[in-house]
Amino acid sequence: MYKRIYVPVDDSQTSNLALNEACRLAKEMSAAVRLVHVVDLAQFGWGGTEFLDASELQQSIKQAGSQVLAQSESLAAGLGVVAETQILESWGDKISSVLMDDAGEWGADLIVMGTHGYSGLMHILMGSVAEGLLKLADVPVLLVRNSEQE
């Protein structure tokens, strides 16, 4: 049914739960899996960093993102799934748009991601990448919620 499963990851337990579900589906359907992590480099790309080396900070952010992907790739491998990985860069764009553009280019036919399920003030302050993705998606989206607070 699904042949290309797209999985945005971060370093949260909620993300790991979604990855577990994506791997279970991928094994059952012999689907390809793409793990992606978005790094936002805009915060260090413009003024205000006179006392900091912006390019060094951006490189550190990319390295941290690579570590997140390596951990997720290892988790997938432990579940019997070989996944491709990709760091995506945002320069102030909405993360949901960056993800949707990449998912479309890759040809994803299912997106699996975690959601923290924030509501009220936390939702206003934190926003929701999952909600933004749902509004943009033209393929099915499976949201996995962590019932425990992180």
Q: List, for residues 113-136, the tens digit of each pLDDT value.
A: 998 766 665 554 445 888 889 999
Q: Which residues contact 59 (CB under 8 A, 6 or more apart)?
A: none
Asked whether the predicted pLDDT for residue 5 surpasses 80, the reply is yes
0.85 cut: is pTM over it?
yes
Q: What are the CA-CA distances from residue 21 to residues 12, 53, 61, 74, 147 (Å)? A: 15, 40, 27, 15, 15
Identify the structural domains of the chain with CATH numbers, from first to last. 4-145 (3.40.50.620)
Q: Are 33 and 5 a contacting pair, CB within 8 Å?
A: yes
